[in-house]
Amino acid sequence: MTNRQIIIADLPTDALTPDHFKMIETEMPQPGEGELLLRVILMSIDAANRSWLRGATYRAAVTAGDAMPTYAVCEVVTSNSPKIAAGDIVAAEAVWADHVVAKAHKVQKLPRVETLSHLMSVYGIAGKTAFHGLMSIGRPMAGETVLVSAAAGSVGGYVGQIAKALGCRVVGIAGGPDKCQWVIDQFGFDACLDYHEKGLGKALATACPDGVDIYFDNVGGKVLETALNVMNERGRVVCCGAISQYDTDSPFGPRNLPGAIVVKRLKMEGFIVTDFAKDDAKCLRAMGHWVSTGQIKVTEDIVDGLENAPHALIGLLAGDNKGKRMVRVAADPR
Amino acid sequence: MTNRQIIIADLPTDALTPDHFKMIETEMPQPGEGELLLRVILMSIDAANRSWLRGATYRAAVTAGDAMPTYAVCEVVTSNSPKIAAGDIVAAEAVWADHVVAKAHKVQKLPRVETLSHLMSVYGIAGKTAFHGLMSIGRPMAGETVLVSAAAGSVGGYVGQIAKALGCRVVGIAGGPDKCQWVIDQFGFDACLDYHEKGLGKALATACPDGVDIYFDNVGGKVLETALNVMNERGRVVCCGAISQYDTDSPFGPRNLPGAIVVKRLKMEGFIVTDFAKDDAKCLRAMGHWVSTGQIKVTEDIVDGLENAPHALIGLLAGDNKGKRMVRVAADPR
């Protein structure tokens, strides 16, 4: 029995291409004491994958010859731990492969849901990030206006749909007219503005006639600067990410910071999803409710086949996904 | 009987100069029904004065031909209101002038304190701003490290002294070695760094070996950028002012915003002192206690003469004051 694995053939120095990856076959890994053999079912494809190839971040750098790391939903094939049984579905830090070995205490048992891929999207990191950031930092109230950047991304769509469910006016920002229209059609945003167009400030003022009470910021940079200008007094800026600043050597500092914070008495606050783990059950119950009522539509961008993982990542970096992108390595075993 | 008044001759587009002001003489204003004629005794000189000349903030913009607004402690000369008597000492929104007319319901009767100027400093806006910002947004805890910019300014000294009284390590930032030494000697800061010196980042790291939990920011700009680099996870940035950005046409945006907020899960929040008016009594009681124990020293920087108000403000913007700056227009009548 062999095991397919995708390794980094060469570290990219510029744009990522398929040549930077190589599929190899190895022997099937054997789990030791306290370990599990996992079958990889779904692999999360994230912009962060690319950043791991640039050097150490919150994880060690990935170098040539390493298998590409990934967050994955897996089925337990063999368990050498009393706490996990064969057949369990778990979340694990895995690699791009058919099978991996993991320590039992490092995986997380996942609940049974009807559609397994939802554990990667609405009930996964994307949905939890949207819920916790919006609810715990943004604290939306019916009648308020919520602005969301990267609105077509994996988190932004949930932020807008939750805010709509709560009675807010919701305006998105995304790249390109197609994505903007899709955000409106798919998620029911009241408006969505293309940041590639000139005059974003004026467009925002028009789309948000009562100003903005909550800005859910996934991008930072100039879009943040522009958004701060339309914030209302005592508005809240949920600092979720700064994707516009990740791939540059000359970061842009919003010139109205901290001035706008002082004058408008804004609150800006950052978080990561695990800060609110204590509220995860509440999040999953609420998201499940809104999925059941149709107020949250789950959009997933599933690429089939381990061998297509490099293309899935390269395409994501070019912005060709709509909704949460993942690679399906194996069918749902249930 | 005439009344001297200082008006804005020309709105500044860059650095403020004496030519932007003009002293004029007008007729003595006459109070109508429900109004008061006030003799201005003390005028508060604040960096915020400069920001009012930049456009509408939390108050309407001040334009050419307007008298310069100011917060003032005044004596009531004539009262056309049953609630206020001639001879009362009141706080009022006034202008740079010998006399002003104010609506009786808009002034605030002040308590009798031994030293009238303390109503402008420790028991006035400076002391309240320090107390409310530090306590309600910063939320200091014994053992934490508090960093304060404009530490020799009217607010910074109180922030540091309150934090010391609560058991925090307190590090200041000020302009020039003399001011820094004075902050340490006068207010008991553990350290005070000169932002004119190169290597502020390294000096901060050395002065704050456990990082910074609360940064009370009065200045914005590059000092804010540097301070963000030494903040601890879940640190709080109290956004009180951005004095480095008020007197320029080319504002500097901290390039690590919002990145540092996201990665360290910081909270940045702005406020103005009246947001916390409901806690004013608590503030005055606490400040009175610390003054009585000697834990808070009151330092005032009093400039005599209405005609010197422009120089007092221009000097303040250049950082030449130590402690709360005010202009004494008339002697304490008592």
Pairwise CA distance, residues B7 & B58, whole Å: 20
Cβ–Cβ gap B258/A266 under 8 Å = no
Q: What is the CATH number of domain A126-277+283-292?
A: 3.40.50.720
Size of interface A-B (CB pairs under 8 A): 103
Structural contact between residues A190 and A171, judged by C-beta atoms closer than 8 angstroms: yes
* Ramachandran category for residue B265: left, alpha or beta (phi over 0 → left; psi -120 to 50 → alpha): left
What pTM was computed for the model? 0.84
SS (H, E, C) B13-45: CCCCCHHHEEEEEEECCCCCCCEEEEEEEEEEC
Cβ–Cβ gap B239/A262 under 8 Å = yes
Strand intervals (E) in chain A: 2-8, 21-27, 35-44, 69-79, 89-95, 99-103, 108-109, 145-149, 169-174, 191-194, 212-217, 231-239, 267-270, 300-304, 324-328
**Partner residue opposite B270 with nearest CB, options A261, A269, A275:** A261
Cβ–Cβ gap A251/B266 under 8 Å = no
Cβ–Cβ gap A255/B258 under 8 Å = no
Pairwise CA distance, residues A18 & A6, whole Å: 11
ipTM of the complex model: 0.81
Cβ–Cβ gap A242/B265 under 8 Å = no
Cβ–Cβ gap B269/A265 under 8 Å = yes
User: What's the token pair of residue B243?
Assistant: 């004095």
Q: What is the pLDDT of residue B190?
A: 98
Q: Which of A114, A136, A103, A116 is nearest to A74 (CA)?
A: A116
Interface residues on A facing B, Cβ-Cβ cutoff 8 A: 217, 220, 224-225, 237, 239-242, 245, 251-259, 261-272, 275
* Min distance B219 CA to chain A CA atoms (Å): 9
By C-alpha distance, the chain A residue nearest B48 is: A263
Q: Which residues of A touch B258 (CB under 8 A)?
A: 217, 220, 224, 237, 239, 242, 254, 268, 270
Pairwise CA distance, residues A140 & A156, whole Å: 15
By C-alpha distance, the chain B residue nearest A250 is: B255
User: What's the token pair of residue A183?
Assistant: 């955000």
Pairwise CA distance, residues A44 & A309, whole Å: 10
By C-alpha distance, the chain B residue nearest A219 is: B258
Q: What is the CATH number of domain B125-275+285-290?
A: 3.40.50.720
Q: Which residues of B touch A235 (CB under 8 A)?
A: none
Q: What is the pLDDT of residue A54?
A: 76
Q: Which residues of A touch B247 (CB under 8 A)?
A: none
Name the segment(s) of chain A with CATH classification 3.40.50.720: 126-277+283-292
Q: Which residues of A touch B268 (CB under 8 A)?
A: 258, 261, 266-269
**Partner residue opposite B262 with nearest CB, options A264, A266, A270:** A270
By C-alpha distance, the chain B residue nearest A255 is: B253
User: What's the token pair of residue B129?
Assistant: 């701003």
Q: Which residues of B touch A257 (CB under 8 A)?
A: 220, 253-254, 257
Cβ–Cβ gap A242/B251 under 8 Å = no
Pairwise CA distance, residues A310 & A9, whole Å: 12
By C-alpha distance, the chain B residue nearest A273 is: B265
From first to last of its 334 residues, chain A has per-residue pLDDT tens of: 899 999 999 998 888 999 999 999 999 999 999 999 999 999 999 887 887 887 766 677 899 999 999 999 999 999 999 999 999 999 999 999 999 999 999 999 998 888 999 999 999 999 999 999 999 999 999 999 999 999 998 899 999 999 999 999 999 999 999 999 999 999 999 999 999 999 999 999 999 999 999 999 999 999 999 999 999 999 999 999 887 776 677 889 999 999 999 999 999 999 989 899 999 999 999 999 999 999 999 999 999 999 999 999 999 888 788 889 999 999 998 8
Q: What is the pLDDT of residue A150?
A: 93
**Partner residue opposite A251 with nearest CB, options B255, B265, B269:** B255
Q: Which residues of B touch A267 (CB under 8 A)?
A: 267-270
* Min distance B330 CA to chain A CA atoms (Å): 32
Pairwise CA distance, residues A48 & A62, whole Å: 12
Q: Which residues of A touch B270 (CB under 8 A)?
A: 258, 261-267
B268, B273, B274: best to mutate for the A interface, most A CBs within 10 A: B268
Q: Which residues of B touch A265 (CB under 8 A)?
A: 269-272, 275
Q: Which CATH architecture has domain B2-121+299-328?
A: Alpha-Beta Complex (3.90)
* Min distance A194 CA to chain B CA atoms (Å): 21
Which residue is associated with the tokens 């060709």?
Answer: A320
Structural contact between residues B215 and B245, judged by C-beta atoms closer than 8 angstroms: no
Q: What is the pLDDT of residue B306?
A: 98
Cβ–Cβ gap B267/A262 under 8 Å = no
Q: What is the pLDDT of residue A58?
A: 63
* Min distance B217 CA to chain A CA atoms (Å): 9
Cβ–Cβ gap B268/A272 under 8 Å = no
From first to last of its 334 residues, chain B has per-residue pLDDT tens of: 899 999 999 999 889 999 999 999 999 999 999 999 999 999 999 988 998 888 777 677 898 999 999 999 999 999 999 999 999 999 999 999 999 999 999 999 998 888 999 999 999 989 999 999 999 999 999 999 999 999 998 899 999 999 999 999 999 999 999 999 999 999 999 999 999 999 999 999 999 999 999 999 999 999 999 999 999 999 999 999 988 887 777 899 999 999 999 989 999 999 999 999 999 999 999 999 999 999 999 999 999 999 999 999 999 998 888 889 999 999 998 8
- Secondary element (H or E) of residue B8: strand B2-8
- Secondary element (H or E) of residue A294: none
Name the segment(s) of chain A with CATH classification 3.90.180.10: 2-121+299-328
CA dihedral B253→B259→B260→B266, nearest 10 degrees, is: 100
**Partner residue opposite A262 with nearest CB, options B260, B264, B270:** B270
Q: Which amino acid is at B59?
A: R
Interface residues on B facing A, Cβ-Cβ cutoff 8 A: 51, 57-58, 217, 220, 224-225, 237, 239-242, 245, 251-272, 275
